[in-house]
Amino acid sequence: MSTLPENIASEPFWWEDGWKPKSPDGAPLPSSVDVLVIGAGLTGLSAARTLASRGQSVLVLDADAPGSGASSRNGGMVGGGHRLSISELESRFGTDAAVALLREAHIDSLEFAQSVIRTENIDCDYVETGRFRAFWHPSEFESAARELARLQERVPLEAVMVPKSRQRGEVASDLYEGGMVFPRHGALHPAKWVAGHLRAAIRAGAQIQGNTPALALGRDGASYLVRTPRGSVRAGKVLAATNGYTPACLGNLRRRIIPVPSFIVATEPLGKSWVRALFPAGRMVVESRDRHCYYRASPDGTRVIFGARAAMFDAPEGLARQQMRGLLAQVFPQLDEARLSHSWRGRTGFTFNALPNIGHHDGLWHAMGYSGNGNTMAPYLGHKVALQMLGDADGKSAFSKTAMPLRWWHRGSPWFLPFADLAFRVKDWQNNRRRRG
Ligand SMILES: Cc1cc2nc3c(=O)[nH]c(=O)nc-3n(C[C@H](O)[C@H](O)[C@H](O)COP(=O)(O)OP(=O)(O)OC[C@H]3O[C@@H](n4cnc5c(N)ncnc54)[C@H](O)[C@@H]3O)c2cc1C
């Protein structure tokens, strides 16, 4: 490990590399709008674009700079996924709804994101790189192959199994027990992706305001009165698009979302040939273990961007960096001496059933709960919920059926995450032991 002092930026690498979120000058707030959207990330901006392009007056408020939440902090990996097994999905929702969920998660959301890139001409370094899902445990290869065959009977998803003997063609690490490749998955620059949504929403006619948190919501007949530090706005409809940052004023939703942090580091430039040697096929890499390391080359191919669940809670920066360094060196021992240039974090929004949900409750609409997979799902479900708000039949989505379960002990503040962290570490230790046989 290098002993030279490092100067590590605590803002996302993406903000320096492509686009940095900035609040627009504070124009006066309108006194009333058709729709007020709370949260200017991929969900809120996608919904705003759809609503404004269909003639609605739309105001999007963000507590911070628009785009500065998870949407501009993430790993930039693009492609669908599901966290529950097909059997679990079918037993909870029935066969038809399970197939619809899988289809939307794997196919429709990706096609929607690609169509937005094309129609809005968004320059976000999008490349169809393919994704390698790396298996942690030797027994996973057989079970994943069976599950993939079942999935492919239900949705037209391209994927191929890669045995350990061919793993080095995907990633220069011997840590894994083979994996599978999703060739249609891709990579983008997340800050440029959300910036593209911001511009598209503005072009469609939406008004976006930063540094303007929604503080309280009250009903006034059929409409809502949303209080902010800059005055109140009357809105015919309100959409909550705050995912892992859901505030106290959205208490009913906050109780259904678990704000799990995810941590990322970027290395200093290592040189293109070095990085190419680490990712010989240029893939995004995601692990199956609970630590859930995910990593890739930077869009210019000179650095490694490495994310992981360093902790389940907002761990102190020193601890997070130490964990991240350890995990990076475990995956790529050849990077033991590599210096880091950036280390940052963001909040993912998990639900208790690990499924996103869209819908409304007592007149308040929401789209959230992407459980770590939002680059395609957030724009897609933002669009779907906007159509539902307009009463458009094209807004139909199986994610209206997923609900967001409650737990009596989650009252809003995620007090339990440090305990979950401990349980997670024990599980990690057990997994490692089991793996070594
Ligand atoms: C570190 C990290 C890595 C990830 N990697 C990937 C990846 O590689 N691929 C992938 O598909 N997904 C990834 N994700 C998940 C993905 O980034 C999210 O699912 C997605 O960005 C969610 O978008 P969103 O618009 O719903 O929420 P966000 O982008 O988080 O936006 C929510 C907004 O709500 C605002 N807000 C909060 N309270 C208020 C209030 N009172 N008033 C007004 N505004 C408010 C916040 O300021 C914030 O800007 C990752 C997430 C993280 C954190």
**How confident is the model over 229-280, as pLDDT tens digits?**
999 999 999 999 999 999 999 989 999 999 999 999 999 999 999 999 999 9
Structure tokens at 67: 């785009």
Q: pLDDT band at residue 437, thresholds of 50, 70 and 90?
A: low
Bridge partner residues of 207 (DSSP): 59
- Is residue 69 in contact with ligand 1, taking CB distance under 6 Å? yes
Residue 5 has a pLDDT of 56
Please give the CATH superfamily to which domain 13-435 belongs.
Answer: FAD/NAD(P)-binding domain (3.50.50.60)
Residue 144 to residues 134, 286, 355, Cα–Cα distance (Å):
11, 14, 20
Per-chain mean pLDDT for the chain: 94
Mean pLDDT, residues 401-409 taken together: 91
- Is residue 293 in contact with ligand 1, taking CB distance under 6 Å? no
Q: How many C-beta atoms surround the C-beta of residue 139 within 10 A?
A: 12
Residue 360 has a pLDDT of 95
E strand or H helix that includes residue 203: helix 190-204
- Residue with CA nearest ligand 1 atom 10: 373
Mean pLDDT, residues 350-366 taken together: 93
Residue 119 has a pLDDT of 98
Mean pLDDT, residues 368-374 taken together: 94
Residue 362 has a pLDDT of 80
Q: pLDDT band at residue 422, thresholds of 50, 70 and 90?
A: confident
Measured from the CA of 344, which atom of ligand 1 is nearest? 1
Measured from the CA of 228, which atom of ligand 1 is nearest? 42
- Residue with CA nearest ligand 1 atom 18: 374
Q: pLDDT band at residue 82, thresholds of 50, 70 and 90?
A: confident
**Residue 237 is which amino acid?**
K
Structure tokens at 138: 């030797």
% residues pLDDT > 70 (the chain): 98
Strands of 16-128, DSSP E: 32-38, 58-61, 77-78
- Is residue 214 in contact with ligand 1, taking CB distance under 6 Å? yes
Bridge partner residues of 365 (DSSP): 239, 360
State the Cα–Cα distance between residues 204 and 405, nearest whole angstrom: 35
Q: How far is the CA of 398 from the centre of ligand 1 (A)?
A: 22
Residue 291 has a pLDDT of 80
